Structure 1
Amino acid sequence: MFLVSNLFPTYNKKQINFTKGKGSYLYDSKNKKYLDFLSGIAVCNLGHCHPKVVSALREQIDSLWHVSNLFSIEKQEELAELLLENFKDGFVFYCNSGTEANEAAIKLAKKYTRKPHIISFKQSFHGRTFGSMAATGQPKIHEGYGEMLNGFTYVPYNDIEALQAEITEDTGAIILEIIQGEGGVIVGDEDFFKSIEALCKKHELLLVIDEVQTGIGRTGSMFAYEQTPLKPDIISLAKGLGNGFPIGAILGKKKLASAFSLGSHGSTFGGNYLAVTSAYETIKIIKDNLFLESVKNKGNYLVERLLEIQNEFQTILDVRGKGLMIGIEMNTQVDQLVDLFLESGLIVGTAGPNVIRLLPPLNISFEEIDEAIEIVKLGFSTYFVGVESNK
């Protein structure tokens, strides 16, 4: 099974075929049960097959799927109202993915400012199209593709002096993640963000915040920037926005509307009926203040339990993150540990070679967190005892 594939080998796929998902769990073709602490890489923020989202999608499937953006789609407007309750004085553009959202954000920033230079950060990740890839501060993402799109400079994250040194008359914008997900779950400093906000005001720079992974409640607020002093001009969204149905979006201040005028950008499938229906139901649930507070509480509890494990294993260097976006930094590579957890029925991710990334559904229960912790503890004990015995 799966030995021969007609797919390009762009992913190192695990040889598991999932056939069913419900809540925080996935089931494979042999009906083995897995606790999902990856959520499709921060996508299924309400878990798998949430009944309210499923019900809304079923109803929409039976009525209408697609007509194109040449016509008004009422649900687009309803979703935009929900999104803009937090991001005041803005407009929305719909697309299909995080990469597309960041591509749109880059285009909007460049077209509005008429300036060629955008500052990004080392170890950032913004996507895999040429614009979003050029904004990404990781050489491994650029390798083999020749010359990148001009105009991007990468500075160390949390280093305000390095950032300030790169600002010139040609600089139009700064793009950043509140927490660098792919870069290792690196959390931005409060003072760093304060200084960025001051620099943007001083030099009249647009601030673009990539909320593709951190947005839609992942860190305990609707958008992660709301827990910082930052006031973005543009934010990009995707992943958790549709709870598994592909949809991306940018929110931009109304002052930018002249740069995205008639015919200046587009998306054939962006904001189609199924996508906005899924997103609307998802956002209605997540944006509730009690729900968001519960994400913070569960995140704090998860970190506390992980710190208990850290006290037992010196191989754990750090436990960090916000809400239910957690990184466990090790002094060793983590691939074998991740596979060991998988064998025991726990799905986790990685963020670089030595960071385990935890992204459980936001509506996960405390009991399910405890279940995951027991698997992690057993995995660490089994793996490191085995490593010691093999020396």
Structure 2
Amino acid sequence: MTQPVTDHTDHTGHSWGERYAASLMNTFGPPKLVLTRGEGSRVWDEDGTAYLDLLGGIAVNSLGHAHPALVEAVSTQLGTLGHISNFFASEPQIGLAERLLGLVGAPGRVFFANSGAEANEAAIKLTRRTGRTHLVATEGAFHGRTMGSLALTSKEAYRAPFEPLPGHVTFVPYGDAAALAEAVTDETAAVVLEPLQGEAGVVVPPEGYLARAREITTEHGALLWLDEIQTGIGRTGAWFGYQHPAIEPTAVLPDLVTVAKGLGGGLPIGACIAVGEAGHLLGPGNHGTTFGGNPVATAAGLAVLDTIERDGLLAHVADVGAQLRAGLGADPRVTDVRGQGLLIGLDLSAPRSAEVVATALAHGFIINNPTPERIRLAPPLVLTEQEAASFVAAWPALLDEAGV
């Protein structure tokens, strides 16, 4: 058994934990581990202990750690052209925008940012260009921590310290199409939805919910904005969550799609994809970024998309995800299993998810607990069947030790 390590003394005579506490703002609490390297779906701490990474940097490390294709793409691009600002264009920037529009399957325009929150900020500003200010979001939603994206995030603990927040936002229960229809009016600029709610513990909407949202927004001339920051780029076994037939069997074309996380495979990048006429709402001077869309980050994005396609990872994600859901859900102490592909939520029969996470870490597995009763898994898309099987085999003993 291994124990979380944050207090080893290093060459300075001070522990890493002391140095961390003395130099970084206390926004995350003490770190669980000091990690030193990664390969595939595994990471190692400063003691050389290995862990199976079933969180993937919170759905970021789509190709795992140190994937040769990503390393090669980033190294080559950085050695060729690293940063140029948006006074200029680069081949990978243009190429990645074209690829993303191709995956959405419609003409439009792309704005590149550095993160999911920034992609959502761009989308918020774009909605203002409709001449309307009212937005409809959902309870349980998480869209980011910047002031604009926080205004769309429902969790009171996140919002309260920073109120008043900008904007006119109405929250409705997630998955409730009737409540959505009641909230949207001819003054609504956009409805923003996650195809699956990740931060809430991988909550799945009822069948037809996204299609009904499309109908409602079209009726009132509002934009349909789908936040695919956690669900996009193959995470569910489809390129975007809204395209997965088990999430939405009816073909839906949104006006806005925001992506980040897995797009860069570990490099900071986000994108606001605007479809059709929505792509023309922002003009010169309306928005900007210094780093967004730089050649290195967009080269990383292209490498991620190329690798997912070349290695058949969409089908692999579907298979390994089904393996995990079936294996973990077989334990009677798991009362519900949700999600698609490698975005998985588990409900426990007792509110001991923190204890389960700590026990798993002590046994070499990195998982997450978004709520006291829920476990979230978002491993690299390259997680092997053997690696998944090792966690399934360990699962009952982990629940035993955690007292579930």
1:1-391 equivalence runs, <5 A: 1=15, 2-3=17-18, 4-87=21-104, 88-111=106-129, 113-227=130-244, 228=248, 229=250, 230-288=252-310, 290-309=312-331, 311=332, 313=333, 316-330=334-348, 331-384=350-403
Deviation string, structure 1 residues 346-376 (Cα, Å, up to 9, x no partner): 0001222221101111111100001111232
State whether residues 346 and 375 of structure 1, in contact with CA within 8 Å, keep that contact through their aligned partners in structure 2: no
User: What one-letter code is carried by the residue in structure 2 that aligns with 1:362?
Assistant: L
Deviation string, structure 1 residues 12-58 (Cα, Å, up to 9, x no partner): 23341111100000001100000000000000011001001101111
Gaps of 5+ in 2: 1-14
Deviation string, structure 1 residues 306-362 (Cα, Å, up to 9, x no partner): 1222x3x3xx22111111000111231311110110000000012222211011111
Aligned length: 380
Scaled by the length of structure 2, what TM-score is found? Answer: 0.91
Secondary structure at the residue paired with 1:158?
A: coil
Query: After the TM superposition, which of the residue ranges 204-213 and 182-191 deviates more from structure 2?
Result: 182-191
Q: Distance in 2 between matches of 1:74 and 1:86?
A: 18
Q: Identical aligned pairs, as a percentage?
A: 38
State whether residues 184 and 217 of structure 2, in contact with CA within 8 Å, keep that contact through their aligned partners in structure 1: no
Q: Distance in 2 between matches of 1:200 and 1:289?
A: 37
Deviation string, structure 1 residues 206-247 (Cα, Å, up to 9, x no partner): 000000000000000011111223321000010000000100
State whether residues 222 and 287 of structure 1, in contact with CA within 8 Å, keep that contact through their aligned partners in structure 2: no
User: What one-letter code is carried by the residue in structure 1 that aligns with 2:365?
Assistant: L
Gaps of 5+ in 1: none
Secondary structure at the residue paired with 1:30?
A: coil
State whether residues 186 and 222 of structure 2, in contact with CA within 8 Å, keep that contact through their aligned partners in structure 1: no
Displacement of 1:288: 5.0
Q: CA RMSD in A?
A: 1.4
Q: Distance in 2 between matches of 1:177 and 1:279?
A: 21
Scaled by the length of structure 1, what TM-score is found? Answer: 0.94
Secondary structure at the residue paired with 2:281?
A: helix
State whether residues 124 and 137 of structure 1, in contact with CA within 8 Å, keep that contact through their aligned partners in structure 2: yes
